[in-house]
Chain A
Amino acid sequence: MASPFTRHPSPISRREALRTVTALLGGAALTGGAGLLASCASYEAGKDLSASTPFTDEEIVLLDDIAETILPATETPGAKAAGVGAFAAFMVVDAYSPDNRRIVREGLIALQQASQAEFGTTFSHLSAEDQLTLVTRLDREQHDYQSGKPADQPNHWFRMMKELTLLGFFTSEVGMTQAMRYMERPGRYDPCTPYEAGDPAWAEHA
């Protein structure tokens, strides 16, 4: 039973996998600590960014556009087709701690500010190329931050966004059945089958 969620990327038990998924979905690994981007909060002074207020349609479009930049449509559908924006919005509100909700919202504000400052318009109005420029930079930033941060500090907002995007896409019907292969009831176990590069992975089930 594969468990690539684990810090030690070992295939171990289903229990282990689920425990770690749980942590990723707003659990212990993501909680606690102060915000990363407090300086951006002035953008919407007075608004409680940690509240469980649902995301607006406009914000969901933004989440969709970020997610599509991370996992774009290629020969197979991308994040937007899988409804990742709405999923991410739902998860942040319903599954994240107040601290992490604030971190994500602050991150989105910071992204819009960066988009305005550099390109003079909001993220959703950028060309796919410019979107990728910003998102690639954010990915490097989060990757550097994550590798240096103490374990008890909250994750970078873009790490959360990337997690939500991958989770939302690869556990969606589109992601599992169109990008990957899904078989509800394999009916048999073959411990050694040929594999050719390019063949999609078999999706997990429960």
Chain B
Amino acid sequence: MKNNEYDAIVVGSGIAGGWAAKELTEKGLNVLLLERGKNVEHVTDYVNATKAPWDYPHRGGHTWAQEQAYPKLKRDYPLNEKNLDWWVKDWESPYTETRRFDWFRGYHVGGRSLMWGRQSYRLSDYDFEANVRDGLAVDWPIRYADLEPWYAHVEKHAGISGSYEDLPQLPNSVFQPAMPLNCVEEHAAGKLAGAFGGRRKIIPGRTANLTQALPGRAPCQYRNACWLGCPFGAYFSTQSSTLPAAMATGRLTLLTWQIVNEVLYDKDRKRATGVRALDAVSGETIDYSARVVFVCASALNSTWLLMRSATDIWPDGLGSSSGELGHNLMDHHLRVGASGRMDGFDDKNVFGRRPTSFYIPRYRNLFGDKRDYLRGFGYQGSASRQGWQRGIRELGVGADFKDALVQPGEWRLGSSGFGEMLPDHSNRITLNHGVEDKWGFPVLDFDCAMGENELAMRKDMASDFAEILEVAGAKDIHTYDSGWHPGAGIHEMGTARMGRDPKTSVLNEWNQVWDAPNVFVTDGACMTSAACQNPSLTYMALTARAADHAVAELKRNNL
């Protein structure tokens, strides 16, 4: 019999799980980190990171055969030959849809921390108070002041570049120097300062890309090849940041190919005793025990795990006593905005490939503004000179056509909104026992859609940016709404929300499952509302805060 006892078990090695492992080991616990997929070694396993664009046979595209093999992944950019290995294989891990949901997952050490977009923004009390102010869903059990020190804590280690601004709805992080706006963005920002009461403000994107070295990590080299893995460790990932810190304590055990499928629950003690995992290589079922379990399997897989746990007491799983487990599924809705041509900058260009955009923080339904929908949106976008791709739509062939295309084209300024999606009880996931994955486990069924609030917001998301372009002096302005299905934002949130009352929420203010206080869920599943900011930084802070609480409670023998 193996010694399978630890102080703490962390399920999942992505952004949340990596932080849990780091914080718990640094506070002295012996931690078992369980990852369902393969290992990806920092740098050495970034096999495509230094390839040239011409080294890819399809130049980054995908094949017809792959389209047939990946009916879900093909819906969006993840089906590509450059980092396909890091996206879940449709045929191994299917899911079903009562209503469409685009679910793009990464099952390997590091999870989607390897492929994420890196935009990093704090939430504010406008977000934490939103539900109670609107009389919607349930109140967040925490406020900004509860999380503020933990944001600062994780930002120092992760490395967030950005600019200090005076924005109550988007508090400053602890920043490394920002990656600056380019000339045209700077021009637009200047024009905007004198319009809309100064409320629509273009600021540099806040991103988990280093502009200054951190121990073991070099600053960004402006290759903009982040999603292949960074050989310089210049963006935050589990591999570059949290895993080395956890390993350095000597108290971390990382096991791969362990598909955790049940949290083991002692109904007399009302505590979890550990987890049960399927070893995906040997086929063996293995039980691991610990005093604390951190569920960080990514939002919807964390809920999947709870749904399969303690079913002898609660048929719908651990945390289902509230009736809210699996409900209130959210994402950020996007692919709507505008673009225009910016004249007068033909003698300007940029050098280097900046791996971030500009950001326009939320201004709708704030500071006295009142719309016919609730909440708001931010914008991410950029100004850039058009590339050779413009030639595909243009009329033209021959020598002049070619010699024009090898030069940069006109400047365009464009953006897409990132809109808040309201928590809605009817947007949900359930276990589908009729369909099994490769390992014989029931899959998730999705039943989720945008509501009237999101659709009304999208009208502003398109027309507001057209107004911004007018002020910036753009010509040839076009709005667009390319349509959107939940999940395509790859910001899955909710389904095990935090709250103040066990009757209406799954987790308490410390991310503890009400019915099993030694089980913490700290990834996107815990979100009580979605805000409109990219959420990963908040998961980092919530995880570090929960880990601190877990260790304190262990010392008090409360778990």
Contacts and interface: CB of A to CB of B under 8 A. Distances in A.
28 contacts: A2-B382, A3-B414, A4-B409, A8-B339, A11-B339, A11-B381, A11-B412, A12-B337, A15-B77, A17-B77, A21-B61, A22-B62, A25-B58, A25-B61, A70-B401, A74-B399, A95-B61, A139-B396, A146-B393, A166-B389, A170-B387, A176-B52, A179-B406, A184-B52, A188-B222, A189-B354, A201-B407, A206-B227
Interface stretch (A32-40, A116-124, A191-199): A191-199
Given A4-B389, A94-B58, A192-B350, A187 B221 contact: yes
Given A95-B64, A197-B407, A2 B385 contact: yes
A87 to B, nearest CB: 8
A184 B50 CA distance: 8
B225 A139 contact: no
Contact of B414 (A8, A166, A171, A189): A8
B478 interface: yes
Interface string A161-173: 0110011101111
A202 B408 CA distance: 8
A16 interface: yes
A27 B67 contact: yes
Contacts of A146: 393
B403 interface: yes
Given A1-B382, A8-B414, A12-B416, 10 more contacts: A5-B392, A11-B384, A21-B80, A22-B62, A22-B76, A25-B59, A70-B401, A190-B351, A195-B346, A201-B387
A193 B345 CA distance: 11
Contact of B415 (A12, A25, A94, A176): A12
Contacts of A1: 224, 353-355, 357, 382, 384
Interface in B464-485: 478-480, 482
**Which of A11, A91, A94, A162 has the most chain B CB atoms inside 10 A of its CB?**
A11
A2 B384 CA distance: 6
Interface in A41-97: 52, 69-72, 74-76, 78, 87, 90-91, 94-97
A200 B408 CA distance: 7
A13 B182 CA distance: 16
Nearest to A185: B221
B351 A188 contact: yes
A172 to B, nearest CB: 5
A176 B412 CA distance: 22
A130 B61 CA distance: 34
A170 B179 contact: no
A206 B62 contact: no
B186 interface: yes
Nearest to A162: B392
A169 B57 CA distance: 13
Interface string B148-189: 000000000000000000000000000000011111011000
Given A136-B398, A192-B183, A8 B79 contact: no
Contacts, number: 281
Nearest to A173: B54
Given A12-B414, A27-B67, A204-B387, A187 B224 contact: no
B387 A72 contact: no
B386 interface: yes
**Which of A96, A190, A195, A206 has the most chain B CB atoms inside 10 A of its CB?**
A206
Contacts of B79: 22
Given A9-B386, A9-B390, A18-B60, A201 B408 contact: yes
Contact of B53 (A15, A94, A171): A171
B117 interface: yes
A149 to B, nearest CB: 13
Contacts of B354: 1, 189, 191
Interface of B: 50, 52-54, 57-65, 67, 74, 76-77, 79-80, 82, 117, 179-183, 185-186, 220-228, 335, 337-339, 346-355, 357, 380-393, 395-399, 401-403, 405-409, 412-416, 478-480, 482
A198 B79 CA distance: 36
Rank and list the top 10 A-B pairs by shortest CB-CB distance, nearest first: A10-B414, A10-B339, A25-B61, A206-B225, A18-B77, A189-B352, A186-B352, A4-B389, A8-B480, A195-B349
Given A2-B386, A71-B402, A136-B398, A22 B61 contact: yes
Contacts of B63: 26, 94-95
Nearest to B469: A10
B347 A196 contact: yes
Interface residues of A, number: 84
Interface of A: 1-5, 7-19, 21-22, 24-27, 52, 69-72, 74-76, 78, 87, 90-91, 94-98, 132, 135-136, 139-140, 143, 146, 159, 162-163, 166-168, 170-173, 176, 179-180, 184-206
Contacts of B65: 94
B348 A78 contact: no
A136 B397 contact: yes
Contact of A4 (B52, B346, B386): B386
A53 B437 CA distance: 35
Contact of A9 (B52, B221, B412): B412
Nearest to A76: B406
A92 B405 CA distance: 24
Given A186-B353, A206-B228, A4 B180 contact: no
Nearest to A170: B388
B397 A205 contact: no
A19 B407 contact: no
B480 A188 contact: no
Nearest to B225: A206
Contacts of A87: 59
A76 B80 CA distance: 30
Contact of A96 (B60, B64, B381): B64
Contacts of B225: 205-206
A192 B117 contact: no
B232 to A, nearest CB: 9
A136 B480 CA distance: 31
Contact of B381 (A10, A136, A170, A205): A10
**Which of A2, A72, A171 has the most chain B CB atoms inside 10 A of its CB?**
A2
A74 B350 contact: no
B116 to A, nearest CB: 11
Given A94-B63, A191-B181, A206-B225, A198 B407 contact: yes
